[in-house]
Amino acid sequence: MLKDLALFAMAGKRMDWVARRQEVLAENVANADTPKYRARDLEAFNFRKMLDEKMPLRAAATDAKHLSPQPLEPAPGVGVVKTPFESSPDGNSVVLEEQMANMADSKGAYELSLSLFQKHLRMMKTAVGKGG
């Protein structure tokens, strides 16, 4: 039922993305000593793309004299892939400090999504008279 509401669906997808990212980062750390192993990461989660797919923004024409509305263009430069800034002599590109920073970033993103999910759930409970 909650997955039908856009906000809850988006928070859930963000939490799923963070969980998958943690798996990829853990694989990187586990292979920190594997020769020629290339560190991997997921493409950044894009709320704007998700919003555009679910609810494209359009200008409203409230009068027949208005120009016909055109969809707004998405912001450029989203999804740039970063290359590693160093590698070991055996070709391994895992930098443990970078992986730990990414893990901390993922933890913060997960906690933010969880907090938003919980707050909106409490707000809905209050609206139907079940919270407080």
Contacts of 103 (CB under 8 A, 6+ apart): 22, 25
pLDDT digits (tens, 9 = 90+) for 60-111: 667 777 666 555 454 443 333 345 567 778 878 888 888 899 999 999 999 9
Q: Which residue has the tokens 């997955």?
A: 3
Number of domains forming the structure of the chain: 1
Tell me the average pLDDT across 45-53: 69
77 lies in a domain?
A: no
66 in any annotated domain: no
Categorize the per-residue pLDDT at 40 as very low, low, confident or very high, splitting at 50, 70 and 90: confident
pTM of this prediction? 0.65
Instruction: State the sign of the Cα–Cα–Cα–Cα dihedral 30, 115, 48, 54.
Output: positive
Provide the residue range defining the domain that includes 9: 2-52+85-127
In a domain, 40, yes or no: yes
Q: Does a structural domain hold residue 76?
A: no
Task: Decide if 32 contacts 109 (C-beta within 8 A).
Answer: no
- Kindly state whether residue 103 falls inside one of the protein's structural domains: yes
Q: Note whether residue 116 is domain-resident.
A: yes
